[in-house]
Structure 1
Amino acid sequence: MAEIFGIATGALSVAALFNNCVDTFGYIQLGRHFGEDYQRCQLKLDIAETRLGRWGEAVGINNDVRFASATPPDNAVKGAQGILEDIVDCFEAAQKKSRRYAGRADKQELVVYDNNDMNPIFQRLHKRSKDITRQRQKGTSIVKKAAWALYDGKSLEKIVDQITSWVDELEKLFPVETVHQKLIEIEIEEVNDELSLKTLKDAARGIDPALENAVGHKVDAIEGTNSAKNVETEGLARFQLGNVFSDGALQHEILVKDWTNNSVETVSAKNESRVQIGNVYGGKRIWDN
């Protein structure tokens, strides 16, 4: 059995195994090789963590006696136990790869990002994710762990993709969709500005379809409408329908609740003209030059 928690996973109840899987996310750091993608990658990791935690909350994993044993008699719980052990193995493999890299890399290559390296939008979404995890794990006993880092995008993608697949399986084993939806509503109830919601929606794509869908509905409810019935472009003319958030909006905490309506019947753009139906937040744009 893998021992990423400092104890053989076979000695843990299913609930303890689950709690430690979720907790492990909090010890993963991202190296400087992620560059400008760091904060988006961190948010993807947060979404995978929150989705796994949501499943546990939905099935009452810390309150249902079926999950209190390391040798569950229930077949569905046995299936969940096997999936959670696969998640541990995934973390273990990534951690071993990290150690091998750290053993041959110089100190500068081992520098990791921290929360202060995120812009305000991502900081707030990251903090919200961690607050949700802490609330769900309140009162549970967690094995202390050492922090470790991922140094390349492929390792992160592998973790996120595999955990997404395994949570799909967990949700099929214990179908409680109504509870999941209620939990998602709680998760996003404090995220109310358009840019934060769109950032979360983009990061959730391919990882948490239910979250992506719920956030999309919330965006539709708060953003203004932009429409153009007939659009004709010629030559190098360019046309964009919708609001635009520039880098300035990301770097500063610009919270947008946009109920404006921008609508035209006909657009005829020629030569090198540029046309946008929508608003710009954070500075310049309409393709900036």
Structure 2
Amino acid sequence: MEPAGLAVGVLALAGLFNNAVQCFEYIQLGRGFGSKFQTCQLRLDCAQLRLSRWGRSLGLDVAQPQQTLPDFPGSPEEVKLAEGLLGQILDLFEIAEFRSSQFKKRASPDDDTLATYDSQTDLEPTFGFIHRVMRKLAIDTQKQATLKEKTKWALYEENALGRLIEDITKHVEDLINLFPTAKPRQQELCKAEVSEIEVHEAGARVLREIAAQQDKLLETMLMKSGNNSAQPQPAISAVFSGSNNKGVQLASNSGTYTMGNMTFGKD
């Protein structure tokens, strides 16, 4: 494949990538998920963010991806393989949507499980914060405003969601391994992601548990962040001295009291 052909390949790859990332935006979760709704929503967000990170590490998210050709870390053959993997991810969404429509047809019209949650209003504060941050990271503000008009659809069964995420996770893993030289860039991007997530400690802990199952890089970065924030503070030592030194530290003391490089009282 000549350079011109590679440019066409990268442009097609970028189109598939952006379509795949946007597919997550059209999924809703049915009320049948109950108390698991919030965790399941973050599982979807985590899968979307990981796919987005992979594409961003290759420059596929820019307005004109062909401009990244001089630094593109893959061969024409690898581009074709990546196109196939992204195509399979898009197929997974289509299959899941079709099965969802079949479930809906079999259910009675008054079935409460056909009602859906709204991720913008039904998430508790901790989960809502992480959801919004991850969505912003996965699709920047400009692209959020230009999402294609498409009817949203719902997943009603937890096993259907689990199967979809498991298959997507596997394909994204294959995409990551297809371009190993992009992994350092993915680490940089993930570190930047964590810097926005870690401001909410409770949310970061929840996300770390989810990432452990589907995004090891994010889990590792969150663990490092948590360890750094939990570093013990240096102890402040107090030394009492002087011939007339008596009393207890928690009450009162007469004599000389030294804390660090500051001394109080007289001998």
Fold equivalence (TM over 0.5): yes
1:187 Cα shift?
Answer: 1.0
Structure 1 residue 65 corresponds to structure 2 residue 71: no
Specify which of 145, 150, 153 is matched with residue 148 of structure 1: 153
One-letter amino acid of the structure 1 residue matched with residue 126 of structure 2: I
On the 8 A contact 1:30/1:151 being kept in 2, the answer is yes
Correspondence for 2:114: 110
AA matched with 2:219: E
Contact 1:57 1:136 in 2 (8 A): no
Asked if residue 184 in structure 1 is aligned to residue 184 in structure 2, the reply is no
Structure 2: which amino acid aligns with 1:184?
C
- Structure-2 separation of matches of 1:179 and 1:64: 16
Distance in structure 2 (CA, Å) of the matches to 1:91 and 1:200: 23
Q: Which has the larger radius of gyration?
A: 2
Q: Report 1 or 2 for greater relative contact order, CA contacts < 8 Å, sequence distance ≥ 6.
A: 2
Question: Structure 1 residues 51, 136: closer, same or farther in 2, change over 3 A?
Answer: farther
Distance 1:37 1:125 in 2: 16
Deviates more, 1:184-193 or 1:90-99: 184-193
Tell me if 1:126 matches 2:117.
no
Percentage of matched positions with identical amino acids: 35
Q: Deviations over 1:13-36 (max 9, x none)?
A: 221111011001011000011110
Q: CA RMSD in A?
A: 2.7
Pick the structure with more helix per residue: 2
Cα 1:194/1:82, change in 2 over 3 Å: same
Alignment of structure 1 residues 1-289 onto 2, 5 Å: 13-61=12-60, 62=62, 63-65=64-66, 74-105=76-107, 106-107=109-110, 108-115=112-119, 116-135=121-140, 138=143, 143-175=148-180, 176-191=182-197, 192-223=199-230
SS of residue paired to 1:149: strand
Q: Is the 8 A contact 1:53 1:136 kept in 2?
A: no
Shift, 1:133, TM fit: 2.2
Of stretches 191-200 and 89-98 in structure 1, the one that deviates more from structure 2 is: 191-200
Q: Which amino acid aligns with 2:66?
A: V
Residues in 2 aligned to 1:260 and 1:193: alpha-carbon distance in whole angstroms: 24
Paired residues, number: 214
CA contact (8 A) 1:185 1:214 kept: yes
Provide the rounded CA distance (Å) in 2 between the counterparts of 1:193 and 1:114: 22
State the 1:196 CA deviation.
Answer: 1.6
Equivalent residue letter for 1:154: N
- Report which stretch shifted further, 101-110 or 138-147: 138-147
Over residues 103-140 of structure 1, what are the superposed CA-to-partner deviations in whole Å (9 max), with x where a residue is unaligned?
Answer: 12224221001122211000000000111123187399
TM value normalised by structure 2: 0.73
**Amino acid across the alignment from 2:227:** D
Residue identity opposite 1:34 in structure 2: F
Corresponding residue SS for 2:196 = coil
| Aligned residue type for 1:22 | V
Separation in 2 of the partners of 1:148 and 1:140? Answer: 19
